[in-house]
Amino acid sequence: MSIVTVDFDGTLYQHNSVMALLKAGRKVFTLKQWVLIVVNFLNGSVNKASENKTDFRVVLLKSFFYQMKGKPMDEIHTFFECISNTGRQNINYDLVSRITKHSENGDRVIILSGALQPFLEEIIRQLDMRADAIGTSLLYDERGICTGEIGRINHGVNKINSLKLWIKENDASGEAIWAYADSESDIPLLEFADKAVVVQPSNAMKKIAESKGWEIFYN
């Protein structure tokens, strides 16, 4: 039995989940809210740049979800359900078939991504996958009301730390680890895994995979 980690954006989901959020937001936010999102994003980008730690995805997500501050959990769930319904056309179904075989063989599957946790959970539910999700948290207060804040982005080395915690909590030490991913940001995870599979790589990532002897998966 193995632990099988699967990246989301660019791997299982052949699109950008942040762009999917923005597209869905057009039906949710007013013009005034979009102006606030843009202003907050620009201000946050300037502040981050001055600290030499610019991560524009973090700034954009925080600006976006601040406009959802005060919304109950069920309303947030409906929002992600809508995104997932429209986003299923972007799923890599050939990879889903391969991951399903892992599950049938008794392997434990984890969708390990920087995408938001509610989005990952809804996609897993709609695809009827046997998998856990480890993503970026959207934060709620003790009443289940959205605070407008997100947790640390589950990206790069943070994925390895999240995976190690999952292994400890699920008493899974000693099991072989597979990693399916597509981009340079996932090289630490691919190197950490016992079996690395690079999915639909760019030319640059393909060269890296070939130099390291990693499997390359195409649709």
Alpha-carbon gap, residue 32 to 149, rounded angstroms: 20
Q: Which parts of the chain register pLDDT below 50?
A: 52
Which pLDDT belongs to residue 48? 56
| Domain 2-15+89-217 coded CATH 3.40.50.10190 | no
Q: Distance of CA 90 to CAs 24, 26, 101, 174, Å?
A: 15, 19, 21, 34
| Residue indicated by tokens 């340079």 | 184
In this predicted structure, what is the pLDDT of residue 206? 96
Q: Tell me the two tokens of residue 22.
A: 């923005």
> pLDDT tens digits for 67-85?
999 999 999 999 999 888 8
